[in-house]
Amino acid sequence: MTQPKTWSDRFETALHPAIARFNASIGFDIALIEYDIQGSMAHAQMLGQTGIISAADVQTLQQGLGQVLEEYQAGQFTPGIDAEDVHFAVERRLTEIVGDVGKKLHTARSRNDQVGTDIRLYLRAQIQTVRAQLRQFQTVLVNHAEAHVETLIPGYTHLQRAQPLSLAHHLMAYAQMAERDWQRLGEIYNRTNVSPLGAGALAGTTFPIDRQFTAQELGFGGIYANSLDAVSDRDFAIEFLCAASLIMVHLSRLSEELILWGSKEFSFIRLKDNCSTGSSIMPQKKNPDIPELVRGKTGRVFGHLQALLTLMKGLPLAYNKDLQEDKEAIFDGVQTVQACLEAMTILLGEGLEFQTDRLNSAVDEDFSNATDVADYLAAKGVPFREAYNLVGKVVKTSLAAGKLLKDLTLEEWQAIHPKFETDIYAAIAPRQVVAARNSAGGTGFEQVRAAIAALKQQMENAS
């Protein structure tokens, strides 16, 4: 059976079947069909407005396009490899439905500006979904934070106990990262939301088209100023994958902490059955597969970013078929980041419990109040560096004696420095140590409460 020819009569034969498969994008760009039809509807309407085709033709085209979409949604239209891509598939089906008028749709347009339009319409919708998901993720974090302002947690640097923190402060750090992600995507939305439609193959068109009309019809914020740039720019997709990579970095860091916190060694959280998995051989095990998968999926989003950067770097202007490779990277990047945000929001919202008693007692077991001893002396006039060295010695002798700072007697304190008085005990109690860090953006309870209120306000103002 010979394949139908896609191209003009310049071509004598159809593509070799294996080459047709290699060349086709229909297997994945069918995901754009809704946007392809939306773009074609606007284009048809513009062709009518400008008198390039008749009003009757516009109506026929729009009805036909509507039917193609319905057929697709009903599962009755499933184009195969011979259609090559979604753009040809829709146009061919349209022409089957409405007859020769269907052949007028591609007047003053190229698949190059068409595919650019489709991918922008798709991505801008996905960006809004990701932004809404970020808001939900933040809300879950903020809710936990509100409940745990006064729950303490050891704070770490170099994964060594450093200074105790409010658990809320720790969680709010992630809410702030998500806030930047949300804002960043807002900026990227604006640069994605620009219409390339009407740029034609590369040079514009001889027809008296109205690019502002289609841009407005499709809700774009403006039009590309240069037709070559319009058809060959994928900066917006790279920016999106960069923002998606950063979201994944944030989710992956949180995942790593949740995995640690759920271990016997930390025991800061308990995973609930609805979000943990078992082992096929060790019946006692409860595994944190969800955060592990999120951490693991991070790499593929970075990979898509790298793939697109590499795809673009040597491309001469304007369109090259290489650009067909943008889609799978974008689609998988979108799906991965959306799936991970959903899973992490569920995990945090309903899949774990903070072990409050354990968290509050954990901060009692170490020397993470040592800085506060130095601060105590510094506040009484001892130069900080001198106080720091003194406290180093105290930690050393206490460790040797198997004691914590709170176990030292007043005599022992005063032997170290005469400025120590009984208020040293209150000053180094973990709760006080946290409360006292009341500098802007610090972990002091007052600061944390204010930070929660401020972010909530910010989220409300810009939703």
Other C-beta atoms closer than 10 Å to the C-beta of 107 total 15
Tell me which residue has tokens 């100023």.
225
Dihedrals phi, psi of 270, to nearest 5 degrees? -125, 125
Tokens at residue 28, please?
A: 């994945």
Report the residue number, 25 or 276, with the smaller CB distance to ligand ARG.
25
> Least distance from C-beta 325 to ligand ARG, angstroms?
8
Report the residue number, 56 or 203, with the smaller CB distance to ligand ARG.
203
Report the residue number, 148 or 304, with the smaller CB distance to ligand ARG.
304
> Least distance from C-beta 84 to ligand ARG, angstroms?
7
Residue 261 — left, alpha, or beta (φ > 0 → left; ψ -120 to 50 → alpha)? alpha
Tell me which residue has tokens 């936990």.
144
Q: Nearest to residue 350, comparing CAs of 186, 104, 123, 144?
A: 144
Report the residue number, 264 or 321, with the smaller CB distance to ligand ARG.
321
Report the residue number, 143 or 324, with the smaller CB distance to ligand ARG.
324
Which residue ranges make up the site for ligand ARG (CB under 6 A)? 25, 29, 85, 87, 111-112, 115, 319, 321, 323-324
> Least distance from C-beta 297 to ligand ARG, angstroms?
25
Tell me which residue has tokens 């130069």.
383
* Rounded alpha-carbon distances, angstroms, from residue 288 to 200, 259, 275, 301: 51, 6, 8, 21
> Least distance from C-beta 9 to ligand ARG, angstroms?
18
The answer to whether residues 32 and 119 touch, using CB atoms and an 8 Å cutoff, is yes
Report the residue number, 238 or 433, with the smaller CB distance to ligand ARG.
238
Report the residue number, 10 or 321, with the smaller CB distance to ligand ARG.
321
> Least distance from C-beta 108 to ligand ARG, angstroms?
16
> Least distance from C-beta 363 to ligand ARG, angstroms?
56
> Least distance from C-beta 109 to ligand ARG, angstroms?
11
Distance of alpha carbon 312 from alpha carbon 331, whole angstroms: 17
Q: Name residue 287's beta-bridge partners.
A: 277
Enzyme catalytic residues: 158, 279
